[in-house]
A and B are shown apart, each in its own frame.
Chain A
Amino acid sequence: MDLRFTPEEIAFRDEVRAFFRENLPESIRTKLTLGKHFSRDDMVTWMRILNAKGWAAPHWPVEYGGTDWDPVQQYIFREELLAAPAPEPLSFGVSMVGPVIYTFGNQKQKDYFLPRIRNMDDWWCQGFSEPGAGSDLASLKTRAVREGDHYIVNGQKTWTTLGQHADWIFCLVRTNPDAPKKQMGISFLLIDMKSPGVTLRPIQTLDGGFEVNEIFFDDVKVPAENLVGEENKGWDYAKFLLGNERTGIARIGISKERVRRIRRLASAEKAGERPLIENPRFREKLAALEVELKALEMTQLRVVAEARNRPSDKPDPASSILKIKGSQIQQATTELLLDVVGPYALPFTPEEEGRNEPPIGPEWAQMIAPNYFNTRKVSIYGGSNEIQKNIIAKAILGL
């Protein structure tokens, strides 16, 4: 047992870090540091920089344009990326639909979609949740009826993140309403967002931003060749996808970067005569949070090391710990930032491209309250923390 990185792993980390330092556009880095939203162009630019280096989807198999990195290297890459801070490659493509396509899709789907995902030629979004199907996802109602070479899709999806930028949406649709179990009548369908009958309504989130949408399907004609895998097996593919999602969801690199930011800001910000960082109550809250984060980092490394001995299509149920603690810690970092900013949390400055009026209060303060509000989502999405506890109770504890 040796929990330190090997010299080779440290050399790899330095290589990754240097690449991000030299190739991440400064304007994007600044937006992320300040907690601002990046644009569609920012994401496409960054994904293409990564793709040119062969790093757009490093966790994919080499034959599909991935790398042969082991789980430790994958971990190092991801954490360096988050800590840079650089945008995470759009998860809907490289982390969600991509692995489903190369694991369950046919050759034509692989050949067409996978290179386009890596190069961000297509922006993907996720059509899982519905107004009546949140945590109880399997109760979804969006209906796909086979007619000749097509499916006719009718229904509604919601919480579609960044759907306003999307070219494609991967959807869970009900193909057999009479299946003996509701999980057994679901299929995994790829739908072109430009198809007639697809409409999108933005939903403004509590931070004032536009991140999620409702999507309506009204007699949308989808070629049957866009079915992934077998009809009525979509629930299996969805479980596979959600398991993959959880391993990356701790976002330790983001939380580390935020902790460092908290320390920097609290050293500069005065509370009375002294810097805030010298306030005993504040500093001890920060120290306690750092302990939890360090523990989670070690837990993450244990899961990563264990992944070497685990078949890649069998996600570790311990990754539910990463989801629960990772989301709690992310929320706690935004909460502490709110404590740092103090009264200048109040002014609301709309984020608009090309806006050049000076902000009310310090610039670094602008996005802190919105980030705090926005980050409440992380314990809800990707299988809420309560669902994760159900998974732990059943899959690990056998209750």
Chain B
Amino acid sequence: MDFDLNDEQRMLKDSVEKLLGARYDFDTRRRISDSPEGFDREIWSAFAEMGLLALPFSEDDGGMGGGPVETMIVMEAFGRALVVEPFLASVILAGGILRRAGSSGQRAEHIAAIAGGEKLYAFAHHERQARYDLHDVATMARADGEHYVISGEKGLVLSGDSADRLIVSARTSGNQRDEAGISLFLVDAKAEGVSRRGYATQDGARGAEVTFDNVRIPASALIGTRDEAFPVIARVIEEAIAALCAESVGVMADMHEATIDYMKVRNQFGTHIGSFQVLQHAAADMFIALEQARSMAMFASMMVQEEDARERARAIAAAKVQIGNSCRFVGQNAVQLHGGVAVTMEYKVAHSFKRATMIEKLFGDTDHYTTRLADLGGVIGE
């Protein structure tokens, strides 16, 4: 057992933090978030040059061969800086699908495009009625000779408005809520019949509603085995949750530090408010919630590579519950301890709080995963 980073991991951490420190301060982040595209292509290129976009891919696929710990390091730094660039969408989600299920030809073409930062990818999976059920897919893909024809609507496509290519889940057999019968397809975002409605998210990033109206794609656009995409989707969402857990730790750590710093300089009643015990205890409780979340983010990173699907599912569910609880607690208290300044758009804690709140809602919230963990028989084991 070893909690220390190795030399390469430390270097990765230092270089990401240095880059963000130099080029991603809060004012820059606000400007980027408010820009028409909602992210900065120059920063994206800088991520690519540093190798971040190639991080989780195997060396055979032209990647850096990084594992969950490397992803954790990057995501935590992104959380601190509230990075809005489409790393989760393009590298973790779409890249994760391609990495796990793509043919050698698909990997050669598309992983190279993701890792080099030349093209942006997004994962068009979630539908309005599905809530948090990954198997609830109504979008249809009908075989038509050497083609498939896709029709349906996807609601929450993260970073979907600027994506060049979409990975779309669609039903090729079975009923709407069957795990079997789901397939994955690569679709050009500008293909005929694809229409997109981009929107801002609460936390300063971007999403899109994407409608597929008889979109005709060649059979070669199928990723992985027809009808058997569900385990791939579930696995990649688990990886995305582990990444989000790490991001949330960065978000919370930054909020907590800002709160402590503020408590040391904000004077009321003739002294700094950090001298008041009731506020000290709130800050201590935030610290505990943060450290418990950090522990579970590490646990998630460790367990996301576990081969036993049930053990892995228990661990990811448990981590998401802890992260959700901690995000709420740390976020709400960071705002409370700051007082008025934190309920304005001018102050970073407000933005961190919003991101922390939305992280809880992504890919299954605290209630969802508490129920799921209960169904799985808990996380303590025999």
Contact = CB atoms under 8 A, between A and B. Distances in A.
Interface of A: 1-6, 9, 72, 256, 259-260, 263, 280, 283-284, 286-288, 290-296, 298-299, 301-302, 305-306, 318, 321, 324-325, 386, 388-390, 392-394, 396-399
A399 B260 contact: yes
Given A287-B370, A325-B288, A72 B1 contact: yes
Given A299-B292, A393-B280, A9 B287 contact: no
A40 B119 CA distance: 73
Interface string B254-280: 000000100110000000001101001
B64 interface: no
Contacts of A389: 280-281, 284-285
Interface stretch (B88-96, B99-107, B134-142, B293-301): B293-301
A302 B277 CA distance: 28
A283 B287 contact: no
B314 to A, nearest CB: 9
A218 B379 CA distance: 54
A379 B274 CA distance: 24
B349 interface: no
Interface SS of chain B:
helix
Interface in B68-124: 69
Contacts of B318: 290-291, 294-295
A280 B373 CA distance: 12
Interface residues of B, number: 42
Contact of B378 (A263, A306, A393): A263
Nearest to B275: A399
A302 B292 CA distance: 11
A295 B378 contact: no
Contact of A1 (B4, B378, B382): B4
Contacts of B281: 386, 389-390, 393
Nearest to A318: B291
B284 A392 contact: yes
Contact of B380 (A259, A302, A386, A396): A259
Interface in B272-328: 274-275, 277, 280-281, 283-285, 287-288, 291-293, 295-296, 298-299, 302, 318, 321-322, 325
Given A3-B302, A386-B281, A399-B263, A290 B287 contact: no
B197 to A, nearest CB: 37
B3 A3 contact: yes
Interface in B1-48: 1-6, 9
A5 to B, nearest CB: 6
10 contacts: A1-B298, A3-B299, A287-B321, A287-B370, A287-B374, A292-B292, A393-B281, A393-B283, A397-B283, A399-B274
Among B283, B284, B318, B377, which residue has the most Cβ atoms of chain A within 10 A?
B284
A290 B3 contact: no
Interface string B355-381: 000000000000000110110011110
B138 to A, nearest CB: 28
Given A3-B298, A299-B291, 5 more contacts: A1-B5, A72-B1, A290-B373, A390-B281, A399-B275
